[in-house]
Amino acid sequence: MTDARREAPAVARNRDAILAVLRSILPARGLVLEVASGSGEHALHFAAALPGLAFQPSDADAEARASIDAWAKGAPNILPALALDAAARDWPVARADAVLCINMIHIAPWASCEGLMRGAARILPAGAPLVLYGPFKRGGAHTAPSNDAFDADLRARNPAWGVRDLEAVADQAAAVGFAPPDITPMPANNLTVAFRRASAR
């Protein structure tokens, strides 16, 4: 029988640093929707460390969903992975207590970032967090030469991809009712960016 589990080497490097920040952002209990869960390794790690939360992983890719479910087998607080395209107008989740999105918006068209903000605004109650992790430009400039090189590589692979301007992302969030973000510098020139739902549209 083929093992559907994928492995993303970056997960082992960043999961503990992300978890340390999530402990201070996520609620003690409730449902966390993870958008673009990828291999599913992050969800497995976070669910084991935060047993009061239920994790709803999702991904637009069927092979990724198979990997997520294979990793999550036997985990009591991880739900079966859902097919979810962040850019889609309708999401298969009506409500969540937090939304988490790791390393997605730079490896997707800008429409996916816009859709992520709209979707999260629809399903989160006031005060609930939308948490992003990844590389960002600040003030229109890269924060490290490695991010500049990464951005060039992404754009060479797909011109619709690329490291996003944090200010542009924050503007999109503000337009749908999120407060200005709390920003936490992370290892390897990444950021954790946490928006809180401020108001209903």
Pick from 4-18, 40-54, 163-177: least confident: 4-18
Averaged pLDDT, 15-29: 97
Cα distances (Å, whole numbers) of residue 154 to 4, 108, 136, 157, 192:
26, 10, 13, 5, 20
Domains, the chain, in order of start with CATH, read 9-196 (3.40.50.150)
- Using 50, 70 and 90 to split pLDDT, how confident is the model at 12? confident
pTM, full prediction: 0.96
Please provide residue 150's backbone torsions phi and psi, each rounded to the nearest 5 degrees: -65, -45
**Which tokens hold the place of 195?**
């928006």
Burial 1-15 (b: 16+ CB within 10 A, else e): eeebbbebeebeebb
Measured in residues, the chain has a length of 201
Tell me the C-alpha distance between 20 and 153, whole Å. Answer: 30
In this predicted model, what pLDDT tens digit does every residue of 133-186 receive, in sequence order?
999 999 999 999 999 999 999 999 999 999 999 999 999 999 999 999 999 999
Tell me the C-alpha distance between 125 and 121, whole Å. Answer: 8
- Write out the DSSP string of 167-192: HHHHHHHHHTTBPPPEEEEEGGGEEE
